[in-house]
Structure 1
Amino acid sequence: MASEERSERTVSSTIVNLAEEAKDFREGVKAPSPAFLSICKSLVAGGVAGGVSRTAVAPLERLKILLQVQNPHSIKYSGTVQGLKYIWRTEGFTGLFKGNGTNCARIVPNSAVKFFSYEEASKGILWLYRKQTGNEDAKLTPVLRLGAGACAGIIAMSATYPMDMVRGRLTVQTDKSPTQYRGIFHALKTVFIEEGPRALYKGWLPSVIGVIPYVGLNFAVYESLKDWLIRSKPFRLNEDSELSVTTKLACGAAAGTVGQTVAYPLDVIRRRMQMVGWKHAASVVTGDGKSKAPLEYTGMIDAFRKTVRNEGFGALYKGLVPNSVKVVPSIAIAFVTYEVVKDALGVEMRISD
């Protein structure tokens, strides 16, 4: 009992000390401690990882969203290659990266918070697990990693959701749209004024539900695969050995494939719910001025029901091919970039520690 009280006092003391050090650093009183610098470097590494990975696959990200929300009565994007060619032909090279600035403005803080939250959640869950089992040498299991990843995904997604909301609309609009969002802040302001503050969180529920298997599986599969490869006989590595960058990329690709396949239908529903209330959504997607008005959804279940009833079950996987092509390298690049940047910044703590 005494040891538990000492442990709780130590945690509380650490939090207080970090807060005081941050204040002193802003006021120029003294240099930040190694612990505070480690946290900042971890956040920077996560942000860089998110920005690099998303920019690398920005054209596929835009095509995925266009496929998800296009009007079924006026098909313009019929596949990955055709869709990319159509965007290039009608909007030029810059059209392939439309909405990427907004995406990076969202994903950089999202990725920073996600990776850092995973590290902290992992440590907290491991501490509770060791306390419950009485085994001080216990390691994180795939299920515990899944839980830590789910916590990290929910925290990061909720913190940056309005940015994701307007990013979807900026990505969908074209030069023929009757009303143009001029940028991130203009879109946020316009949605807030015309549709109300709650509109900024349209599709939040399926996002929360979807982020649990998506982010959770990403971290769980990535870390578990790394552990398995280190311990497997073909590699003959000990626990202190490092896998090659190529092997880590393969682990990240596998993690991304599993996570996105499970959570993809929820991503489609989220994106469609985000378009509800935008009176120019249909014309933005089809550009023909004669398309039917977008469906209205009363909630997540209603969106699922109407999508399947009107377009079939396959509609829940619209855009899956470009998303698969996008997610595999994106997740792989994000994980590896995160670890490389942390090594470059000299941070000893890693996501598998």
Structure 2
Amino acid sequence: MASEDVVSKTTGESAVSTIVNLAEEAKLASEGVKAPSHALLSICKSLIAGGVAGGVSRSAVAPLERLKILLQVQNPHSIKYNGMIQGLKYIWRTEGIRGMFKGNGTNCARIVPNSAVKFFSYEQASSGILWLYRQQSGNEEANLTPLLRLGAGACAGIIAMSATYPMDMVRGRLTVQTENSPRQYRGIFHALSTVFREEGPRALYRGWLPSVIGVIPYVGLNFAVYESLKDWLIQTKRFGLAENSELSVTTRLACGAAAGTVGQTVAYPLDVIRRRMQMVGWKDASSVLTADGKSKTPLEYTGMVDAFRKTVRHEGFGALYKGLVPNSVKVVPSIAIAFVTYEVVKDVLGVEMRISD
């Protein structure tokens, strides 16, 4: 009888052990299924937040964005846009409200995926760089330095720019064309197909090199200045702006404005050269029309250095900063809105990781 009890007890323990093991295996299997699903959902939310941030920030400053491009590429012998206020009034008088937002649909179609890829790439790049930095330094508590943030931002900018460059190229042409231009692109896909067919696939990436070179300091400094300034304010608690290790929306907007101002001032000449190289091969660009609307021979650039040289020689060094004033007015709210919108949308969507983390 005792032996039967022992056998029964042993059998019971064995059954319980089996059930526990099966439950643990089921739990692990369940976690294994949920983990990739959870990671994918987090990635999608991060991309959505970046896309929304880009669309909102760019639409808010669309008229200034168009004026900036028109100032960059206008014919120096036939000045139509002479400053920010006069330029905006001229566009309003000649083209109305639609003229103020011309090219914004294409711009958003480009900036939404660009912004999504940029913010997500920055998070991934900063995580990878931080891991390598901790491994090399042997300090598991180390944080990203401003220089490392600059590197992560540069990586993000290069990836995002390369992925969406053809959209940026045709956006520039859609923005520049007027009612008097003989060539009329009907939209994004018509512009893409027309440039591809008439000028070849390489034309879609014309001006890519100065764009990539320019995006390194521009996007890199945007992220580095924004994140470093936020960290400095939180750690030092200067001016009483940080409460419970958090910054207000207004303070974060100010940090974003400072970041945008620094980045665009450094990279602006490359943006001018990029835009001019994009117009090469398009005989109907406003930059190569005389006052009476007749076409004249456009300047041809053999490369980025040649574009710099010819621009400075024909128009002076100041031409590299054409449109800087409206661009500065545009960048201050645009970058600020993008950063803050990104963080707010991620909070709303419930994404755990933020840029600072």
Aligned residue identity for 1:96: M
- Partner of 1:253 in structure 2? 257
User: 2: CA distance between counterparts of 1:133 and 1:31?
Assistant: 30
- Partner of 2:158 in structure 1? 154
- Partner of 2:105 in structure 1? 101
- Partner of 2:309 in structure 1? 305
- Partner of 2:26 in structure 1? none
1:65 aligns with 2:69: yes
- Partner of 1:191 in structure 2? 195
Is the Cα–Cα contact under 8 Å of residues 154 and 220 in structure 2 kept in the other structure? yes
Is the Cα–Cα contact under 8 Å of residues 282 and 291 in structure 1 kept in the other structure? no
Deviations 1:161-216 (A, max 9, x none): 00000000000001111110000000000000000000000000000100000000
User: 1: CA distance between counterparts of 2:307 and 2:249?
Assistant: 41
Is the Cα–Cα contact under 8 Å of residues 46 and 351 in structure 2 kept in the other structure? yes
Shift of 1:157: 0.3
What does 1:322-337 align with in structure 2 at a 5 Å threshold? 322-337=326-341
Stretches of structure 1 lacking an aligned partner (at least 5 in a row): 1-16, 22-29
- Partner of 2:3 in structure 1? none
Is the Cα–Cα contact under 8 Å of residues 284 and 295 in structure 2 kept in the other structure? no
- Partner of 1:171 in structure 2? 175
Aligned residue identity for 1:47: G
Aligned residue identity for 1:92: G
- Partner of 2:13 in structure 1? none
User: 2: CA distance between counterparts of 1:155 and 1:323?
Assistant: 23
Aligned residue identity for 1:171: T
The change in CA–CA distance for 1:31 and 1:140 in structure 2 (over 3 A counts) is closer
- The list of structure 1 runs, each at least 4 consecutive aligned residues, that deviate by more than 6 angstroms after superposition, is none
Question: TM-score when scaled to structure 1?
Answer: 0.89
Shift of 1:35: 1.7
Which of residues 85, 90, 98 is equivalent to 1:86? 90
Which of residues 300, 318, 325 is equivalent to 2:322? 318
Q: How many residues align?
A: 327
Shift of 1:34: 2.0
User: 2: CA distance between counterparts of 1:56 and 1:295?
Assistant: 33
What does 1:38-49 align with in structure 2 at a 5 Å threshold? 38-49=42-53
1:112 aligns with 2:121: no
Which of residues 340, 347, 353 is equivalent to 1:349? 353
**Which has the larger displacement, 238-247 or 339-348?**
238-247
Shift of 1:236: 5.5
- Partner of 2:271 in structure 1? 267
1:228 aligns with 2:232: yes
Shift of 1:315: 0.2
User: 1: CA distance between counterparts of 2:354 and 2:134?
Assistant: 20
Deviations 1:89-140 (A, max 9, x none): 0001110000000000000000000000000000000000001111111000
The change in CA–CA distance for 1:237 and 1:83 in structure 2 (over 3 A counts) is closer
The change in CA–CA distance for 1:287 and 1:166 in structure 2 (over 3 A counts) is farther
What does 1:27-42 align with in structure 2 at a 5 Å threshold? 33-42=37-46
The change in CA–CA distance for 1:297 and 1:47 in structure 2 (over 3 A counts) is same
1:212 aligns with 2:222: no
Shift of 1:322: 0.3
Shift of 1:240: 5.8
Stretches of structure 2 lacking an aligned partner (at least 5 in a row): 1-28
User: 2: CA distance between counterparts of 1:301 and 1:284?
Assistant: 20
The change in CA–CA distance for 1:99 and 1:132 in structure 2 (over 3 A counts) is same
Aligned residue for 2:247, secondary structure, equals coil
**Which has the larger displacement, 231-240 or 332-341?**
231-240
1:181 aligns with 2:180: no
Is the Cα–Cα contact under 8 Å of residues 46 and 112 in structure 1 kept in the other structure? yes
Aligned residue for 1:77, secondary structure, equals coil
User: 2: CA distance between counterparts of 1:83 and 1:268?
Assistant: 18
Whichever of the two has the greater Rg, that structure is 2
Aligned residue for 1:35, secondary structure, equals helix
Is the Cα–Cα contact under 8 Å of residues 276 and 296 in structure 1 kept in the other structure? yes
- Partner of 2:6 in structure 1? none
Question: TM-score when scaled to structure 2?
Answer: 0.88
RMSD: 1.9
Shift of 1:293: 2.6
User: 2: CA distance between counterparts of 1:219 and 1:263?
Assistant: 14
- Partner of 1:27 in structure 2? none
- Partner of 2:18 in structure 1? none
Identity of aligned residues (%): 87
